[in-house]
Amino acid sequence: ANGYYWSRWATCFHSSRDFSDMVFVDNYIFNKDVYVQFNSTVGEYVGYTELGVRSAESWNKDPNILQQERAEVERFCKHNAEIRQ
């Protein structure tokens, strides 16, 4: 494909069966490079490029966005892990 490639990759990591150490990671990718990432352990967005830093600063100022991302550990990760277990 000609042009640019944008994607979003979200995943969950855990090493115990009780999911107490569950971590949610949400990557925003542009042309195969992660430019901004949310990690539930950190609790906010981190930018890795100029665009990512600006995006992270903006998103970190919005408590609604942060609250929604922080809740993904329970809503997305733990819910799906319990179903699969």
Residue 63 clears pLDDT 80, i.e. is over it: yes
Give the C-alpha separation, 72 to 12, whole Å.
Answer: 9
Q: Where are the domains of the chain?
A: 6-84
Q: What are the backbone angles phi and psi of residue 40, rounded to the nearest 5°?
A: -65, -25
**Predicted TM-score (pTM) of this structure:** 0.84
Q: Residue 1's pLDDT is what?
A: 54
Assigned token pair, 40: 């539930």
CATH fold of the domain at 6-84:
3.10.320
Q: Residue 81's pLDDT is what?
A: 78
Element (H, E) at 68: helix 63-70
Residue range 2-54, pLDDT digits in tens = 678 999 999 999 877 777 789 999 999 999 899 999 999 999 999 999 999 99
Judge contact between 8 and 26, C-beta under 8 A.
yes
